[in-house]
Amino acid sequence: MTPTRSLAFAIAASTLGACGEEVTRYAPRDASAWDARGAAWEAPDGGAAGYGFVTNSLMNSVSILDLAAGRTIATIPVGVVPLAENGPHHLALDPASNALFMPLSMPPAAVPSGPHAAHGSSTRPGVLVKRALDDFRLLGRADVDANPGDMLLSPDRRRIFVSHFDLLRAQANPGNREAQRSNLVVVDARTMERTHTVPVCVAAHGMVVSPDGNTVYMACYGDDALGVVSFAGPSPTVRLVPIRNELAQNPTAPTYGPYAITASPDGTTVWLSCSPPNPSAGSRGLLIAFDTRTQSFDTARAATGLIGTPLFGAYAPDGSTMLVPLQGRDAIARVTTAAPLRVLEQTPVRGADCVLPHQISLGPDGRYYLVCEGTHDRLRQERGTVLALDPDTLAVTARYEVGVYPDAISFLGGAR
């Protein structure tokens, strides 16, 4: 309470009684009674080696990894809807504003929670939340559409982009392509107010943003396309670039199903990782490059012979190669980034270490970090893992147990 407000409050309280009576004046309080008691997690070495923040999408929490100590040091709840699965998916950190952002997808329960709930809708709006990095207090929230998928912070940290992997919307509007399209929602990172709602494509998921922050590239699962959304002009413009010659005939059963996306650090290449819902024999998913300078797919940089379905990858520091996690036969592929694409290795991961690798990221300590979903078994609380990998040999140098169904990792601190 400000001094002026405190004074007004105290005086007002004192004048409530009639004259000649005892009146009670309450002492003002300078600090907020709601201040957190302290940090929600401790940084034991001052953050010199960096920390990994991992969303646990079936545990309503974020796990914090101490990269120097090689252990999980905290698991902190992040949900905002009581009792329910809140489904924290991807996340972004902004140390400058002491903020952590994440969309909560509010997934329908795998098992109806009771006979009454089974009557209800399974489409609930998602929630984008902003929490403090130190004590995780809630700093803001914004409603987004149902089934939020990926999220990004713009390079200037002012805007948040949220995609919506909204298959239900596609299924609910057969034959109406416009109605099937999911929105790209843009939220002001400071005020948490929605600034743009841009219909882009059917069931968009993975996103990357250009280094200048003006273009968002989206994996358009139901369209078999890359969505290119430009914010350079006075209003956003959308262009869909089909992977092959045309958009998917049936958006609920696309041929390729682009789902994940990876960008080169210089922004000249965007890679689509495809997860076809009905893979034909010999086709486990396509990995293909899109050249942002020519605005076209580069068929000389495409792979279809991978032993599993590719997901979210990471570039090597020198940019010559890229690592991509594969699911189905759980493995890591290393491919060249220049044409012609060559698959240098496909190294299986040990089941005891990693089930369903989902995302690989280059950490601040120069190692790769592989997020493994685990078995998604919430009832048995079987946890997923994060593996630290030697960048050259891909040998496991640390294994972190995290929560149920980890989905994404972001880093704080460290040298990089």
The binding site for another protein (CB under 8 A) comprises 1, 4-5, 7-9, 11-12, 14-15, 17, 19-29, 32-34, 36-37, 40, 60, 76-77, 79, 81-84, 109, 111-120, 135-138
List CB contacts of 26: < 8 A, sequence separation 6 or more: 9, 10, 13
Minimum separation from the CB atom of position 192 to another protein (A):
13
Minimum separation from the CB atom of position 379 to another protein (A):
9
Q: Which is nearer to another protein, 31 or 352 (CB)?
A: 31
Give the whole-angstrom CA distance, residue 69 versus residue 92. Answer: 23
Q: Which is nearer to another protein, 19 or 281 (CB)?
A: 19
The single-letter DSSP state of residue 95 is G
In 10 A of CB 318, how many CB atoms?
A: 7
What distances in angstroms separate CA 214 from CA 205, 207, 281, one per listed residue?
A: 19, 13, 39
Minimum separation from the CB atom of position 283 to another protein (A):
38
In DSSP terms, 270 is beta-bridged to 263, 290
Q: Which is nearer to another protein, 34 or 175 (CB)?
A: 34
Q: Which is nearer to another protein, 37 or 380 (CB)?
A: 37
Pairing relationship of beta strands 181-188 and 159-164 according to DSSP bridges: antiparallel
Minimum separation from the CB atom of position 119 to another protein (A):
7
For 55-69, give the DSSP string. Answer: EETTTTEEEEEETTT
Minimum separation from the CB atom of position 190 to another protein (A):
18
Give the whole-angstrom CA distance, residue 176 versus residue 183. Answer: 15
Give the whole-angstrom CA distance, residue 171 versus residue 146. Answer: 14
Minimum separation from the CB atom of position 99 to another protein (A):
15
Q: Which is nearer to another protein, 115 or 175 (CB)?
A: 115
Minimum separation from the CB atom of position 295 to another protein (A):
45
Q: Which amino acid is at 395?
A: A
Give the whole-angstrom CA distance, residue 292 versus residue 271. Answer: 10
Longest dimension (CA), the chain: 93
Q: Which is nearer to another protein, 20 or 282 (CB)?
A: 20
Minimum separation from the CB atom of position 9 to another protein (A):
5
Give the whole-angstrom CA distance, residue 231 versus residue 241. Answer: 17
Q: Which is nearer to another protein, 31 or 281 (CB)?
A: 31
The length of the chain is 416
Q: Which is nearer to another protein, 9 or 334 (CB)?
A: 9
List CB contacts of 246: < 8 A, sequence separation 6 or more: none
Kindly give the residue spans of alpha helices, DSSP state H, lying in 232-377. Answer: none
Q: Which is nearer to another protein, 26 or 250 (CB)?
A: 26
Minimum separation from the CB atom of position 36 to another protein (A):
6
Least Cα distance to 353 among 313, 325, 316 occurs for 325
List CB contacts of 21: < 8 A, sequence separation 6 or more: none
Q: Which two tokens stand for residue 298?
A: 């580069």
Q: Which is nearer to another protein, 11 or 344 (CB)?
A: 11
Torsion of Cα atoms, 258 then 90 then 415 then 385, to 10° = -90
Minimum separation from the CB atom of position 83 to another protein (A):
4
